[in-house]
Structure 1
Amino acid sequence: MNIFCTPLINRMLEFENYIIRPLVLEDLDEFFNLIETNRERLNDFFAGIVSKTKNIEATRVFLKEVIKKQESKQYFAFVVVDNTTNKLMAFIDLKNIDWTIPKTEIGCFTDKKISGKGITTKAIKTFLDYSFNHFKFKKIYLRTHHSNKAAQTLAEKCGFELEGIIRMDYKTTSGKIIDLMYYGLINNK
């Protein structure tokens, strides 16, 4: 089956009381609220998303860009939805995709209401299986700052291995250029 002709998720990924599905334009208000509620804690390390979602209209433009990039297989954005409340609880994206390897970077953030409860770890494990099987990635990596202990713990719980530290690798929203820790996960199937 050609992955370029198949829908992103032809069935919703489920775990516990949550589903993972592609981010869609109809998520505008909920997505903006998720960002707005968590903006302060996302500010430095989700610079692109934070800067492109300053108000509802800017968020609409951002979502349209995301959908266009998904259609061209350059970028994929997903949300974790609470099945009981239908609220967006987390965001997961696949970016910096290199189809020649094939590999991608995974990013995620969780609503502060569920942070630290293990939900993100379960979501990422479910999503990694899907990404390796559906997209046929050979490698998925994530980058994080040494101060983000939660991301480091998440990476390790999900089987990623620390591959190294890349110096002067990321510019925060405040303009500071920082080092990042690189974690990689190889698909041995």
Structure 2
Amino acid sequence: MLLRFENYYIVPIQIKDAYPIYDFVIDNEDRLKRYFPLTLKKNLTPELSKIFVKKKVRKFQKNKEFLFTINENNIKELLGLIYLKALDWKNKHGELAYCIGHQFEGKGITTKAITVLTNYIFSKFDLRTLKIIVHKTNLPSILVAENCHFTWIKTLKNEHKPPGEKPLDMELYELYKTIQH
């Protein structure tokens, strides 16, 4: 699977992504520590990244969680990550979580990637609802959700516990698959 948009593409996590993910995490440590603490913790060394990637590839193959990388054509550097996680196949919903490298923020790449991936997910998977959970102060992420036509649903009390902080209330956004008649 390869999803192209403009000068970028999205692909499933691959074993060869261990070093690029390690580099991405180290370069964006400050951005990841609050909302992606487990991804950060599991990629602090190249050896940990190899283990992380192997586990994510296995989860992908078993349809338990899907991790995608955002890449730019002709450049080896990883731009960002998108998770499709918290999958509930019975109730047909999942959650998207995304992060982009600091040098690529504000260029619309994440919005375009989420739009392309959302269309793919709704066409290929038996999911009816996608969720994005974001903190109210994370304005760039809120803009991605809104620009991708996700609707604010409600505030989730004490939803996320960043390391060394009290639990945070988070905002729930949802997007529903439109059924074609």
In the TM superposition, what is the alpha-carbon distance from 1:175 to its structure 2 partner? 4.1
In 1, are the aligned partners of 2:89 and 2:126 still within 8 Å (CA)? no
Partner residue, 2:125: 135
What amino acid is the match of 1:18? Answer: Y
Identity value in percent? 28
Partner residue, 1:40: 30
Q: Among residues 33, 57, 75, which one is paired with 2:47 in the alignment?
A: 57
Matched, 1:177 2:144: no
Q: Among residues 88, 97, 101, which one is paired with 1:107 in the alignment?
A: 97
User: Where does structure 2 lack aligned partners over 5 or more consecutive residues?
Assistant: none
In 2, are the aligned partners of 1:15 and 1:123 still within 8 Å (CA)? yes
Matched, 1:22 2:12: yes
CA distance in 2, matches of 1:173, 1:94: 22
Partner residue, 1:126: 116
Partner residue, 2:80: 90
In the TM superposition, what is the alpha-carbon distance from 1:41 to its structure 2 partner? 1.1
RMSD after superposition: 1.0
Partner residue, 1:5: none
Greater than 3 Å deviation, 4+ residue runs: none
Structure-1-length-normalised TM-score: 0.92
User: Where does structure 1 lack aligned partners over 5 or more consecutive residues?
Assistant: 1-8
CA distance in 2, matches of 1:62, 1:29: 11
CA distance in 1, matches of 2:43, 2:166: 21
CA distance in 1, matches of 2:110, 2:156: 25
Partner residue, 2:176: 186
What amino acid is the match of 2:113? Answer: A
CA distance in 2, matches of 1:178, 1:119: 27
Secondary structure class of the residue paired with 1:68: helix
Q: How many residues align?
A: 179
CA distance in 2, matches of 1:174, 1:151: 22
In 2, are the aligned partners of 1:45 and 1:173 still within 8 Å (CA)? no
In 1, are the aligned partners of 2:29 and 2:40 still within 8 Å (CA)? yes
Structure-2-length-normalised TM-score: 0.96
After superposition, give the CA deviation of every residue in 1:149-178 in whole Å (9 maximum; x if it has no partner).
Answer: 111111000000000001111111224211
CA distance in 2, matches of 1:124, 1:109: 11
